[in-house]
Structure 1
Amino acid sequence: MAPFWSPEPHHLLVSFLVLLLSLLFCFIKLRSPKTVPNLPTEWPLVGMLPSVVANLHHFHDYTTAFLAASGSSFVFRGPAMHFFITCDPANVRHIFVSNFTNYPKGEEFAAIFDAMGNSFFNADGESWRRQRGRVQHLISSPQLLAYMARCCRDKLEKGLLPFLARMDSLTPFDMQDLFTRFTFDMTAMSVFGVDPGLLTADMPPVIVPDAMEAVMDVGFFRNMVPVSCWKLMKRLKIGPERKLAAAQLELCRFVTEMMEKRGDGSVHMDEEQENSNVEIVSSYIHDPEYIDDQGKPNGFMYATLINYMFAGRDTVGTTLTWLFYNLIKHPHIVSSIRRELAPIAMHKANNSTTMVTFEPEETEPLVYLHAALFESMRLYPPGPIERKMVMTDDVLPSGHKVQRGETILISLYSMGRMEGVWGKDCREYRPERWVKEDGKLVYVPSYKFLAFNAGPRSCLGKNISVVQMKSVVAAMVWNFDFEMVGGYVVEPKPSVVLKMKNGLWAKILKRRIG
């Protein structure tokens, strides 16, 4: 057998040593009494990497500061790293819409998120177009949409609201954990037709959601270090890469378990069974591209189903957490939402002990509730960063030149905090900015409000997720009062998904209406 190091080029070891050197610079920098400047300091050999690592604990706010100082775009240079970072809407429109084909996700993106395999999250070109067409056809099905709405309503009425009712004693609980459980169960029901039961009375451990979070956390780490560094760590099975390997195994185990519970261990079903199933997996289980010679799910199906789980869970769960953070801080906005709900609710409840829920068709026309949701997503987009690769040399509207093979990072988090985009009150949570004088919703182009992506890769599940979130928020706001628990800092964690580092701890009290 060949020696362990022989297949790897020497630059892997060099890159690893460079990273250690950068950490030493970070230590020196953190010990220095000098305040951190808005723009990253560029060091010899290691470039700007030490400055970024030193501020990794508040990366999104740090990025916002230096983008504001540099006019919304910035070139980052590090060891074997060269990123163009922007939050300029004109650049975003060019990259995501006008010149879309020149800015794919790229092979390096697919390598970073290898847990998604060749699914539509990673795919480019013809593979992406084919998979997207299939997803678009699938989620436009009235049967599937009705089933997903039923899954949301059932989990709300039988899981979320009963849990909140049990907590009606001002006992602190983590709302982020609650929404994680709720959206995970709801998404699994839509994908597999099986309820994993994370939001039940016994509240079992969130092993699979934690594995999903690890994928996003390590994905962020891989974005922040030279490729050769994380690949070396992967080969040695150390650090974050060891955590990721365990997470990927757990996700595959979960898919296997769900398929077995629904009876698809070997995906042969009779005609009656096939016609009765409307969940997402049922449209894949007979496709030769997604099964092996024995009729069992292959790697492509596993990756695709995991992709659906991420798409459904992360957007809704993360958005709901930040929305309630904003609502608890602004009780007058809660009052405005309740005034909008009152004409609907007054016809539903016969006494003060009845839980009131709202149907999608009832919440769909509620403009202020919609504005409160979008305003929270403006400040706290569930996916705070997008990554693109340059196919051919180009000049962006900002005047910056980008070269073939270069990486572009788009900061959605920073865009929501740019005065030039949203005005001097850009850091304020103010739903009124989304409402016109005539009471209608303000139209904001997707390249300015990028929470649901823009252009050909815009989110196909946008309408579904908005309907789900509005129904959940309406029921929670109408039936309960919430109060924040003090003594800890609410801040985003450095990850590909904008989760809260310390959760969202709150107390709850059942409203007495009438």
Structure 2
Amino acid sequence: MALFSSPEPHHLLVSFLVLLLSLLFCFIKLRSSKTVPTLPAEWPLVGMLPSVVANLHRFHDYTTSLLAAAGSSFVFRGPAMHFFVTCDTANVRHIFVSNFTNYPKGEEFAAIFDAMGNSFFNADGESWRRQRGRVQHLMSSPQLLAHMARCCRDKLENGLLPFLARMESLTSLDMQDLFTRFTFDMTAMSVFGVDPGLLTADMPPVIVPDAMEAVMDVGFIRNMVPSSCWKLMKCLKIGPERKLTAAQSELHRFVREMMKKWRDGPAHMDMDKEQDKKKVQIVSSYIHDPEYTDDHGKPNAFLYATLINYMFAGRDTVGTTLTWLFYNLIKHPHVVSSIRRELAPIAMHKATTTSGNHMMIFEPEETEPLVYLHAALFESMRLYPPGPIERKTVMTDDILPSGHKVQKGETILISLYSMGRMEGVWGKDCTEYRPERWVKEDGKLLYVPSYKFLAFNAGPRSCLGKHISVVHMKSVVAAMVWNLDFEMVGGYVVEPKSSVVLKMKNGLWAKILKRRIE
């Protein structure tokens, strides 16, 4: 409970103003300096924080340069902040696998992401094990997996591809926005059995996805400043915290609306079909559990947080990955050609049953064995992991494989983004997009241990939805690459956004046209 209690607001305000003035002074000094130190300089009162603030606009690349210079690990010190930052694969294996129980997410993590409540995103210990067991049971259900596959195919066949087919060749669109809409609708259909309809011709406002993005953006800021700062802003309802409060309200409103639509069901649906429908959606496995409902059988805060957690897990991973993958594909047309060569035998076989006026869709069982398509996907996730940074707390003093000592209560930040760019891990061409690195000489997919390729986490907390999300993404990519051509629009910079989720700061603008297949 002490974690959530705050000092008197006026004391916090004075501390905040002192910190702000110190940061401003150091920031001006850093901006006026012509040389950039190998590692951040430590200033009185504010430590290394000014260097981070000065490079916040390029945080992930800045962190990568520091880790490369420091040999994959360094200690960050700031005002009431002490982080051990690493991308050392031996450390990662130790933290995520070998000594997993000593490195939970911790109470401060749960406070930072309070929008997730006590759901499995934040949970540790017995609560996490119980919730994970339930998710694992769900993700092994043939009925649910079949339902999720239908949701993906339906949204692809009746939403994404028709939308793109209507596009004029001279019209550009933001593919990041497109994939956000697609994955949001698809995830809501899997969780609630309801299509929010964001991917339609009129392109309605993306209010709820924007609220989800605000949660991740503010979560990043909370990670980067002393906890007293963001807790003061939360208390005063100012700055990013005001935005977060509005976002959380919007997410709760969305869940209430979806729950109502789920309960009501389509008016034309008979009782038998309604019961079949409720058996396969994620919400139906929680709604009758007393742990997730109040004394009147209504959803409680725990259920709201759990369903919001599912929405984040489904939308952010897939939508972000697809955006960066198509960025890489557009930049490397030879990769697109290789994927099309791999798809060609399947397409020729399907051509006899597919009308020339319709776009071809590839089934999961057809794309699952495709090695090069898989390699192109994983290579993009290596360079642009959807979750670029992980945070852990030290339970008891320990010595990491790198030789660094970490103490109880200390925070560890693991940069997945940096790990994919370490020459010692991936070779001298580590910054190049080269799917071939994932293909062995015998043509089979190269196995890379999860502590080296952390996009799906590692150890006991590894992603339970990895297989189904990869299958879905391969089907989407196959259909889009086979049926369409893409051309990047110039005049803007594509770069990562400083957030907990690795979205693009300016979107991904491209022209899309129907491909002429000979």
The TM-score bracket by the shorter chain reads over 0.9
- Write out per-residue CA displacement over residues 387-428 of structure 1, whole angstroms, 9 at most, x where no aligned residue: 000000000000000000000000000000000000000000
SS at match of 2:350: coil
Q: Tell me, yes or no, if the aligned pair for 2:31 and 2:54 is still in contact at 8 Å.
A: no
2:486: which partner in 1?
482
Q: Is residue 9–residue 232 contact of structure 2 (8 Å, CA) maintained in 1?
A: no
CA shift, 1:41, in A, is: 1.4
Greater mean alpha carbon deviation, residues 37-46 or residues 156-165: 37-46
Q: Kindly provide the CA deviation profile for residues 302-357 of structure 1, in whole angstroms up to 9, marking residues without a partner as x.
A: 00000000000000000000000000000000000000000001122356533100
- Structure 1 segments of 4+ aligned residues over 3 angstroms from their partners: 269-276, 350-353
**Alignment of 1:432 onto 2:433:** no
Quote the offset at 1:11 in angstroms.
Answer: 5.4
- Cα deviation, 1:226-272, whole Å, max 9, x if unaligned, reads 0011000000000000000000000000000001111269xxx9897
How far the C-alpha of 1:38 sits from its partner, in A, is: 3.0
Deviations 1:145-199 (A, max 9, x none): 0000000000000110011111142311000000000000000000000000000
- 1:508 counterpart residue number: 512
1:260 is aligned with what amino acid?
Answer: K
Residues 122-151 of structure 1, C-alpha deviations (whole Å, 9 max, x = no match): 000000000000000011100000000000
- TM-score, structure 1 normalization: 0.96
Q: Distance in 2 between matches of 1:7 and 1:110?
A: 20
Name the structure 2 match of 1:341.
Answer: 343
Contact map agreement 1:393 1:404 (CA 8 A) in 2: yes
* 1:18-417 → structure 2 map (5 Å cutoff): 18-263=18-263, 273-277=274-278, 278-350=280-352, 352-417=356-421
Aligned with 1:349: secondary structure? helix
Distance 1:230 1:158 in 2: 44
CA distance in 2, matches of 1:478, 1:340: 10
Classify 1:462/1:18 alpha carbon distance in 2 versus 1 (closer, same or farther; 3 Å). Answer: farther
CA contact (8 A) 1:170 1:507 kept: yes
How many angstroms apart in 2 are the aligned matches of 1:106 and 1:214? 22
Matched position secondary structure for 1:262: helix
- The amino acid that maps onto 1:336 is S
Asked if the contact 1:26–1:50 (Cα under 8 Å) also holds between the matched residues in 2, the reply is yes
Contact 2:147 2:281 in 1 (8 A): yes
Shift of 1:275: 4.3
For residues 237 and 438 of structure 2, what CA distance do their matches in structure 1 show?
48
- Looking at structure 1, the residues matched to 397 and 127 of structure 2 have their Cα atoms a distance apart, in angstroms, of 24
The SS at the match of 2:291 is helix
Instruction: Encode CA deviations 1:439-463: one digit per residue, 9 max, x unaligned.
Output: 0000000000000000000000000
Task: State the Cα distance separating 1:203 from its structure 2 match.
Answer: 0.7
* AA matched with 1:335: S
Identify if the C-alpha distance between structure 1 residues 285 and 274 changes in structure 2 by more than 3 Å, giving closer, same or farther. farther
Cα pair 1:349 1:355 within 8 Å, conserved: no
Residue deviations 1:331-386 (CA, integer Å, cap 9, x gap): 00000000000000112235653310000000000000000000000000000000
Contact 1:18 1:79 in 2 (8 A): no
Q: Secondary structure at the match of 1:507?
A: strand
AA aligned to 1:442 is: L
- 2-structure distance, mates of 1:374, 1:344: 22
Q: Distance in 1 between matches of 2:301 and 2:464?
A: 24
Task: Provide, for residues 71-101 of structure 1, a one-character-per-residue CA deviation record: whole Å limited to 9, x for no partner.
Answer: 0001000000000000000000000000000
Q: Is the 8 A contact 1:18 1:46 kept in 2?
A: no
- The answer to which of 48-57 and 276-285 deviates more is 276-285
After TM superposition, give the deviation of residue 274 of structure 1 in Å. 3.9
**Structure 2: how far apart are the matches of 1:274 and 1:286?**
14
Provide the rounded CA distance (Å) in 2 between the counterparts of 1:326 and 1:255. 35
- Distance across 2 between alignment mates of 1:275 and 1:502: 43
- SS of 1:82's partner is strand
Which AA in structure 1 matches 2:401?
A: P
User: Residues 30 and 51 of structure 2 are in contact (CA less than 8 Å); yes or no, is this contact kept in structure 1?
Assistant: no
1:242 counterpart letter in structure 2: R
Distance in 1 separating the partners of 2:403 and 2:106:
23
Give, in angstroms, the shift of residue 19 of structure 1: 3.2
Q: Is the 8 A contact 2:95 2:103 kept in 1?
A: yes
Contact persistence 1:181–1:199 (CA under 8 A): yes
| Structure 2 alignment gaps of length 5 or more | none
TM-score (norm 2): 0.95
Aligned to 1:346, what secondary structure does the other structure show? helix
**1:41-74 CA deviation, whole Å, 9 max, x = no partner?**
1111110000000000000000000000000001
Separation in 2, partners of 1:419, 1:160: 38
Q: What is the percentage of aligned positions where both structures have the same residue? A: 89
Amino acid at match of 2:310: Y
Cα deviation, residue 292, structure 1: 1.0
Cα offset for 1:214? 0.1
Q: What amino acid maps onto 1:311 in structure 2? A: A
Q: Is the 8 A contact 1:48 1:77 kept in 2?
A: yes
| Secondary structure at the counterpart of residue 289 of structure 1 | helix
Matched residue pairs, number? 507
Q: Is the 8 A contact 2:6 2:231 kept in 1?
A: no
| C-alpha separation in 1, matches of 2:74 and 2:360 | 49
Structure 1, unmatched stretches of 5+, are none
Check the 8 A contact 1:185/1:197 in 2, yes or no: yes
Deviation of 1:294 after TM superposition, in Å, equals 1.5
Change (3 A) 1:401 1:31: closer
